[in-house]
Structure 1
Amino acid sequence: MQEVWMDRDVLSTPGHLISLAARSFARLSEMRLKPLGFGIGYLPALMALRDGRATSQRDLARIVRIEQPSMAQMMVRMERDGLIRRDPDPADGRSSRIALTQTAIARLPEACDALFQGNSEALQGFSDDEAEHFIAMLNRVIANLDGLGAGAAGVREPR
């Protein structure tokens, strides 16, 4: 596979094209979500809370795949924006349980609809099979990158 990329333009590589697509999706999503009081970064965390997959900052950071300090900052913004509340954890007085507010619960369906519409528009002209195949390929790329990242985390730089 190495030889395939040697004679190609850097701007045509999968990494660059995925990055461009991600930034375009983020801009579109932010534009559509801002009037609803959401940031694009909020949605994975809010959905995890809604679906019961997370109740703590640690759970959210793991699911959303960001570091704890970044999640703490995001939670401050979501709480400020009236989307989450923190309640004392009855099992551990030092930590909090995170829950959606009624405002978040009421706005999430419209936010999800806006994101799904943007995805549909981005995949305009794709057949259902092509869209499913594209998503499967992106998931494979992500899994490959995760594997590389996990491998690199265990490798020490020479001194």
Structure 2
Amino acid sequence: MLFDKEDSAGYLINHLARLFARELQDRIQPLGIATGQFPILLELWNGDGLTQRELLGEIDVEQATLANTLTRMERDGLIKRTKHPQDARAQQIWLTDKTKAIKADAYRAALETNQEALAMLSESEKVIFLGLIQKVIGTMRSE
């Protein structure tokens, strides 16, 4: 059996993700954040005070990776953690004022990255492309 990376969805999606990450990193680095932190921030900008377990359910990374990233984010003043009022074993994760202040700029960086990357696609192609990606993600999440 031959493997051709140009016919491999996994290889191509991974390559595309690395290109997106590199472009996004260039845009968000001046804000003091990194691409590995971006999915966490997106969730917290949608709803502050999540637990680590709730974040794990949304961003599909390993628990140890998330724990290390949160530790660095806390060290860098991007988040703060407090004891959960109903669960003594859990902590809630909150955005700092510093992180709340960069939300619009971070969103703008992500929008510009997406617009630039998809510029060669028509509007209908963008809808199809994004729909197919969402469908694959849904399939893989349900496995």
TM-score (norm 2): 0.89
Q: Indicate the residue corresponding to 2:114 in structure 1.
A: 119
Q: Do structure 1's residue 89 and structure 2's residue 107 form an aligned pair?
A: no
Aligned residues: 143
Q: Indicate the residue corresponding to 2:53 in structure 1.
A: 58
In structure 1, the gaps of 5 or more residues are 1-5, 151-159
Q: Indicate the residue corresponding to 2:126 in structure 1.
A: 131
CA distance in 1, matches of 2:3, 2:44: 43
Q: 1:25 aligns with which of 16, 20, 23?
A: 20
Cα separation, partners in 2 of 1:85 and 1:129, compared to 1, 3 Å: same
Q: 1:16 aligns with which of 11, 19, 30?
A: 11
Q: Indicate the residue corresponding to 2:141 in structure 1.
A: 146
AA aligned to 1:97 is Q
In structure 2, the gaps of 5 or more residues are none
Mapped contact 1:88–1:96 kept (Cα < 8 A): yes
Report the Cα offset of residue 142 of structure 1: 1.9
AA aligned to 1:73 is N
CA distance in 1, matches of 2:140, 2:89: 35
The alignment-based identity, stated in percent, is 36
Query: Root-mean-square deviation (CA), in Å?
Result: 1.9
| SS of equivalent to 1:87 | strand
Mapped contact 1:84–1:99 kept (Cα < 8 A): yes
AA aligned to 2:79 is I
Mapped contact 2:44–2:95 kept (Cα < 8 A): yes
Report the Cα offset of residue 89 of structure 1: 1.6
Q: Do structure 1's residue 110 and structure 2's residue 115 form an aligned pair?
A: no
